[in-house]
Structure 1
Amino acid sequence: MEEGRIFVHFFLFGMIAFAAYDGIRVVRRIFPHGIFMISLEDLVYWLVISLCFFLHLCQVNNGKIRGYVLLGSLLGAWIYYSFCSRFVMRYLTEKIHYLKKRLKKFREMTTIKLNKLRKRKKPEESEKEHEKN
């Protein structure tokens, strides 16, 4: 029965690992990158996932690699990709686009207000300079 518990652990690990990659994919959709940055992100992702896999393997199964560990991870990633990824990507992309638009609008409004304040101060400053002379 221990094998079943470990299989479930790594099944969930595979799902979480692919969900993390979806996060990277969403960022790439919102903020396009060049090939160098994409390659660097992928390298960092795989290094982190490999380290997490190894640490989790040591914690759960004393570092022993078994077929059901690999099968659980791959199956979890595949199930997530097949049934969840499309919806998660769409949802996160829409939410981040919405936040990006709101932040842009907020920035524009604050810039307009700051410009108005600067224009009001300029006549006062010129009067003060005139009085000094």
Structure 2
Amino acid sequence: MSVHIVYEVRLLLYSFATGAGLMMTYDFLRILRIFIPHLPVIMGVEDMVYWIYASLVTFSLLYEQNDGGLRGYVIAGVFIGMFLYDRLISRFFLKFLKNTWKYLRMKLDKCFRRRKKRQR
């Protein structure tokens, strides 16, 4: 196989991995929002900082791997990596965390109610 084709395929795989990594980073924001409620203004600032971070990561991918040349398939690969991570991993992981958090809160509330009854 040609060296150029191998390079392009590797670049595409890097772009998929970058997209998945960016979605994983956004999942950390989502998890933070599950456990600590945020005001809408704070969530907007967090999102803005995230997208600035995402653009810098994507730019650094293009700069380091492609000498700064803009390639449409690399940008598409980042979005496809984000999409695939969101559909295949993130949805189930976040649903599991939300259900676990609800279960824990329910058990803690029940425990605290019992303590209050004993103290009366």
Shorter-chain TM-score category?
0.7 to 0.9
Q: CA deviation at 1:93?
A: 4.8
Identity of counterpart residues, as a percentage?
32
Divergent runs of 4+, >2 A = 90-95
Q: CA deviation at 1:70?
A: 1.2
Task: Name which of 19, 25, 30 aligns with 1:25.
Answer: 30
Structure 1 gap ranges (5+): 105-133
Deviations 1:55-98 (A, max 9, x none): 12111111111121011111101111111111222345567x49
Structure 2 gap ranges (5+): 109-120
Deviations 1:4-54 (A, max 9, x none): 110100011001101110110111111111111000000111111111111
Larger Rg: 1
Aligned amino acid, residue 78 of structure 2:
S
TM-score after normalising by structure 2: 0.74
1:55 aligns with 2:60: yes
1:85 aligns with 2:98: no
8 Å contact from structure 1 (residues 3, 68) kept in 2: no
What is the root-mean-square deviation in Å for CA atoms of aligned residues? 2.1
Q: CA deviation at 1:3?
A: 1.1
TM-score after normalising by structure 1: 0.67
Correspondence list, 1:36-115, <5 A: 36-93=41-98, 97=101
